[in-house]
Amino acid sequence: DVQLTQSPSFLSASVGDKVTITCRASQDINSYLAWYRQRPGKAPELLIHVASTLQSGVPSRFSGSRSGTEFTLAISGLQPEDFATYYCQQFNTYPFTFGPGTKVDI
Amino acid sequence: QVQLVQSGIEVKRPGASVKISCLGSGYVFTNYVIHWMRQARGQSLEWVGSVNCNTGATRYSYHFQGRVTMTTDTSASTAYMELSSLTFEDTAVYYCARDPSAKFDYWGQGTLVTVSS
């Protein structure tokens, strides 16, 4: 299985901050990576797909990038609703796998 | 608007089976693949498998060792996931999600399955 690792596991920030989260794949997954935000008690929400494409309707403060097997999610100008857990997911190889998550807290 | 609505909470005994439904609305059901994931409390997400709502073709994670069956009823725009031989480790929230291509753009609200003796 493709292993995804995320760093940091936990991030403390304030409203208005810029934060970055990294996801590393254990092998080449091309650009088949998506990012999701999950608020407590809710289903995940798609933010970014194919590494850097912003999903329709998602605010432009979210952005994604890729360098080899390292992927980054950046959030510029944290809003109260962004205090949540973020997951990366790869679509390159079955079984699809998710990262362990990064919790962004106040 | 696009919606995926899942069936309600389930409580099962070890060894039993559970069947969860996922009703799609607001889009052409047969144009998409539906995936199923699960999330144990405080844990990350785990991909269970998928079903092509047009052809019925399925793909399952080998982690579920033939315990899972995914089907669709296109006349009812509904996808189903059945998991058998339940153990305590199957206690989780199960989600369905729509896949237009390399992304899960809409998710169901989740179905809590509790396995308890």
Q: pLDDT digit of tens for each residue in chain A (106 aa)?
A: 999 999 999 999 999 999 999 999 999 999 999 999 999 999 999 999 999 999 999 999 999 999 999 999 999 999 999 999 999 999 999 999 999 999 999 8
Q: Side by side, which strands form the sheet with B18-25? A: B3-6, B18-25, B78-83, B68-73
Residues of chain B found within 8 Å of residue A87, distances taken between Cβ atoms = 44-45
For the residues B98-114, what does the mean pLDDT come to?
Answer: 96
Q: How far apart (Å, rounded) are the C-alpha atoms in residues A34 and A104?
A: 18
Residue in B closest to A32 by C-alpha: B102
**Kind of pairing, strands B10-12 and B111-115?**
parallel
B2 touches chain A (CB under 8 A): no
Say yes or no to pLDDT of B116 above 80: yes
Say yes or no to pLDDT of B4 above 90: yes
**Tell me, what's the pLDDT at B117?**
96
The token pair at B31 is 């144009």
Residue in B closest to A58 by C-alpha: B105
**Tell me, what's the pLDDT at A17?**
96
B27 touches chain A (CB under 8 A): no
**Tell me, what's the pLDDT at B65?**
76
